Structure 1
Amino acid sequence: MANLRRNSQIVLATASSGIAATLLPCGRTAHSRFGIPIDIEPISICKITKNCDLAKLIRITNAIIWDEAPMINRYCVEALDRSLQDIMNINAPFGGKIMIMGGDFRQVLPVIEKGSRGQMISACIVRSQLWSTTKILHLLQNMRSIHDHEFAQFLMRIGDGNEPTKEDDMVKMPAEIVIPWEGESSIKKLIQHTFPQLENHGCDASYMVERAILTPKNCDVHVLNDMIINNFPGDEHILLSFDEVEGDTHNLYQQEYLHTIAPGTLPPHILKIKIGAPLMLLRNIDPKFGLCNGTRLLCRGFFMNLLDVEILTGHNAGKRAFLPRIKLKTTDGARLPFVLIRKQFPVKLSFAITINKSQGQTIPNVRIYLPRHVFSHGQLYVALSRGVSRAATRVLIKDGKVEGEEGDFTKI
């Protein structure tokens, strides 16, 4: 990308997720750049008219980069293909444009709500008719673990499914990265391993961005974040949301009930924050400035209706921004009989984050908490591969014993 731009050629840098887009110079999410519909269908096209400025830019573009392509539904790629053919008036893949896609098929595949394994694989780009025209280049060096070759080989075996397993796809974790389960006190030990001397690093951005606890489900994320924020130094601020049901003019739903709803895509009703605490953004606010869904932030101050935050990741790391309260809506994935509208700051604590949210990030000191086994393709690989070495990675498995075997096991 740098080489092409140096030669005065135009490259559009996009990614499937906001957090991956922030790592690219002038990066945007593919949905934002090309107007790909959110509710994608097999015959969808992008929201690009043939005479708009974006169409003119596409015509003079030399290449398009799409990072983390394996995690996007193939219908999104096919929608862009149809749109580019229409804009360029050329019946060729992507209208004759060079499309450079990057990604790792060992990671989490496209998420299909309540979908089967077959439906997830069917949504992957390898099932698209465009795959037969794709030239595949294999990257061979794990850049995160470049100084720990043995750990990098272990990650490859996990990702490829070649690590020896016991019954029910249980794989043994190396003893040197395991924190033994000794009851609920082990969770406190895990937190101390992750955030040593936390009371002395209240506003230390470099300290916070280098460590996090990963766990499969949002319910466990909430428990861990509550435990850590209670021990975090400083005065606690309780930020409450305003909840309503879309179209409920007669107030049929009580506020007390609405406040208890906590889908993973919305901030909690009770948001506990302290100055210096790490946060995660839950919506694409300003992708050009680095404020994307998944961006990690540091709380620097409070105002009546604004949060003062510092960006911790991406090319905009170190910059400050103000976040307002905004209205956020639940989607069909929340499985509610109504649409909940929650007016709240679009953030939540990020001492702990889900494994899926961590995809695309490098976390030098990563800790993995598995109170239950992973439930999706690639989750264990994603969690383990966020770290840079075996010495900087620790795993706590609650139910990790296999009858007749020594050591801790978890599902691969």
Structure 2
Amino acid sequence: MVHWRAVKAVDAALRDVRESEFGDLFTVFAGDWQQILPVVRGGGRCHIVDACLKSSPLWQHVTCLTLRTNMRAQLQGDAEAEWLEERAILTVFNAGVKRINDHVIDRPPGPGHVYTSVDSTSDPDAVPLATEVLIGIELSGTPAHFIRLKAGAPVLLMRNLDAPSLIIGTLCVTVALSAAVLELKNITGPDRSHVIAAPRIPIESTPDSGLVFSFRRL
């Protein structure tokens, strides 16, 4: 959830262009007020509450609507794939990603498979680090050391495999799992419903990762 002053800035820009509140446009704010709060660096509880949209003068013009129907439970097969294609879940911290992933993986029936990465430093001059340190590294754009998957679970490609159909951000559904290869069905892009084999791909840290050494995860 963004700071209410950011919403106020959008309102001011639209007023300048269209000379009316929010440019007389239908505006939708989505979120859970009890779970997705604004991030105030170094702020306490009172600062976070003050940054919430509910504390804004604009709140008096907002009408609250509640979603009550679980649409995904009513969809199956290709319809479910289309439903997944149009949606995404965003979180602020990796810990939130893990909780959501665990919840999603628990839903499909059948046993799961746990994959563990092989971590190393690609800089030959770097000081050797313990395995416990390497597996605990979590970087943006890098998968976790432990990944649990099941057939039917949605996955997102993090590297280009075969442009333009299999690129970063392509959404797939897991069809089958083996030790080194995942069988995935593409549900987005020009090759929709095409089944592919995705091998393990090494991912290296970038210069802006914040690490003082080069990190490699396979």
Q: Structure 1 length normalisation: TM-score?
A: 0.36
From 214, 233, 238, the counterpart of 2:89: 214
Structure 2 residue 170 is matched with structure 1 residue 302:
no
1:308-323 to structure 2, matched below 5 A, reads 308-323=183-198
The DSSP-based 3-state class of the residue aligned with 1:315 is coil
- 8 Å contact from structure 1 (residues 194, 213) kept in 2: no
1:311-390 to structure 2, matched below 5 A, reads 311-343=186-218
CA displacement 1:126-172 (0-9 Å, x = unmatched) = xxxxxxxxxxxxxxxxxxxxxxxxxx72249xxxxxxxx66458757
Structure 2 residue 131 is matched with structure 1 residue 255:
yes
- 8 Å contact from structure 2 (residues 123, 213) kept in 1: no
Structure 2 residue 57 is matched with structure 1 residue 177:
no
Alignment CA distance shift 1:255-1:170 (3 Å): farther
CA distance in 2, matches of 1:224, 1:339: 29
Quote how far apart the aligned CAs of 1:196 are.
2.3
CA displacement 1:241-269 (0-9 Å, x = unmatched) = 10001224676211111111122201111
Q: Which structure: greater strand fraction?
A: 1
CA distance in 2, matches of 1:255, 1:205: 42
CA distance in 2, matches of 1:206, 1:218: 30
One-letter amino acid of the structure 1 residue matched with residue 113 of structure 2: H
Which residue in 2 is equivalent to 1:281? 157
Quote how far apart the aligned CAs of 1:332 are.
2.7
Moved over 4 A (4+): 165-173, 248-251
CA distance in 1, matches of 2:111, 2:58: 44
CA distance in 2, matches of 1:215, 1:233: 25
Runs of 5+ consecutive residues of structure 2 not aligned to the other structure: 1-5, 7-24, 30-52
Structure 2 residue 69 is matched with structure 1 residue 196:
no
Alignment CA distance shift 1:221-1:247 (3 Å): same
Quote how far apart the aligned CAs of 1:218 are.
4.5
Quote how far apart the aligned CAs of 1:176 are.
1.7
One-letter amino acid of the structure 1 residue matched with residue 79 of structure 2: S
The DSSP-based 3-state class of the residue aligned with 2:26 is helix
Which residue in 1 is equivalent to 2:33? none
Alignment CA distance shift 1:266-1:170 (3 Å): farther
Runs of 5+ consecutive residues of structure 1 not aligned to the other structure: 1-116, 118-151, 157-164, 180-191, 344-412
Which residue in 2 is equivalent to 1:226? 102
CA distance in 1, matches of 2:130, 2:57: 45
- 8 Å contact from structure 1 (residues 306, 323) kept in 2: yes
Alignment CA distance shift 1:296-1:248 (3 Å): same
One-letter amino acid of the structure 1 residue matched with residue 138 of structure 2: A
- 8 Å contact from structure 1 (residues 296, 311) kept in 2: yes
CA displacement 1:61-107 (0-9 Å, x = unmatched) = xxxxxxxxxxxxxxxxxxxxxxxxxxxxxxxxxxxxxxxxxxxxxxx
From 120, 141, 145, the counterpart of 1:269: 145
Alignment CA distance shift 1:274-1:197 (3 Å): farther
Which residue in 1 is equivalent to 2:40? none
